[in-house]
Amino acid sequence: MFDSFIRLVREIYQTNDFIPLHEPRFAGNEKQYLLDVIDSTFVSSVGPYVSQFETKIAEYTGAKHAIAAVNGTSALHVALLLAGVKPGEEVLTQAVTFVATCNAIHYCGAEPVFVDVDTATLGLSAQALADFLAEFAELREDGVWNKLSGKRIAACLPMHTFGHPCDMATLLQVCNQYQIPVVEDAAEALGSCIVGSNSFDPSAASANEFAPTPAKHCGTFGKLGVLSFNGNKIITTGGGGMILTDDDELARQAKHLTTTAKLPHAWKFTHDQIGYNYRMPNLNAALGLAQLEQMPLFIQRKRELAERYITWSRRAGVEIVQEPNGAQSNYWLNALLLNDAGEREQFLTDSNAQGVMTRPLWELMSSLPMYSQCQHDGLPESQRLAQRLVNIPSSVVL
């Protein structure tokens, strides 16, 4: 199994050199747009590429508004603030995620509460969430409260792991029953959609009314959603993020907060609240715009790569993570599920020694020292994934 995997990866990437897990591809207008920014001298957050990039991301995802930020973590921080998360409160999320998810919660002065994930999606389990709320939630006039901790549950934060969409329709149904706002961490999921979904319409007359849609992008289901354009994402701005929302007022506040809460004026510097210097620079946005122009090709090639891995896994008798039913994943990072921790460690050791980068799942957030005291539901599936999962090279093949 191991030898055939190494041969496959080297055949795909056509090199005997080191093969990274995920690296960016620059095959479009990146240099042209960057030189244009340099020539203009508008290299920071004041410049036309920022607004152009926002407009194009909104068009691509179907969101009404997209607000650019310096990275996905800062975008998530502001999105949680706008969702109403306050110090001393709690946010329901998953332990299977990158640490930025929990750090953004902590920046708000709140604390994560960890609920288990689904096997099929690797994302927050709607059933586990429903079970947790049935046991611990108390709905009052001023919100939903955790009967164990005595703290208000301010939001729910699912993360679309490796670009595979969560079961957003069911998650939204559960959260709507308890009047909990949903913020999506779609940092890894640009280009991933739920196809033919029954997506929750918060403006619908009935609290349980769901409207069928042909395809809906990750990051556009909740009250707000967040994207990342870090150097290892499907498209990159070097470092960057984006807040997505259909709410006009939340979009206005997001732009205001990320621009140091400065009131518009030709020369005065007046700020009306504590804001953040989170606005994306024009240089980064120019790079992102050129990358976004290549998204259809990137998605096509990443799905072709995933299919090659799937075909190999069937022959080799290895379990591989595939997109959930009713979803179309961007396959940001492909993942194998090995038999146990011992086989996983051997695979990691041997592949990296052969110059093919592989990595385990992130350490579960509940096991990190700063979050080890946070409440969780036992996380049985999360624990199993942490023992078995290995990410394999997933760069776009041009």
- Residue tagged 């595979």 (tokens): 164
CA distance 276 to 274: 7
**Number of alpha carbons in the 13 Å side-chain half-sphere of residue 145:** 10
> Is 131:335 a contact under the CB 8 Å cutoff?
no
Give the strands of the sheet with 215-217, arranged side by side: 215-217, 193-195, 327-328
> Is 255:67 a contact under the CB 8 Å cutoff?
yes
Report phi then psi at 92, rounded to 5.
-80, 130
Q: Which residues contact 71 (CB under 8 A, 6 or more apart)?
A: 228, 230, 239, 240, 241
The answer to whether 86 is a known catalytic residue is no
Q: Closest by alpha carbon to 44, among 259, 323, 245, 211?
A: 259
Q: Closest by alpha carbon to 398, among 261, 257, 304?
A: 304
Buried b (16+ CB within 10 A) or exposed e, 32-61: ebbebbeeeebeebebebbebbbebbbeeb
Give the strands of the sheet with 111-115, arranged side by side: 111-115, 90-94, 152-157, 143-146, 137-140
> Which one of the listed residues 216, 223, 233, 302 is annotated catalytic?
233
What positions carry a catalytic annotation? 233
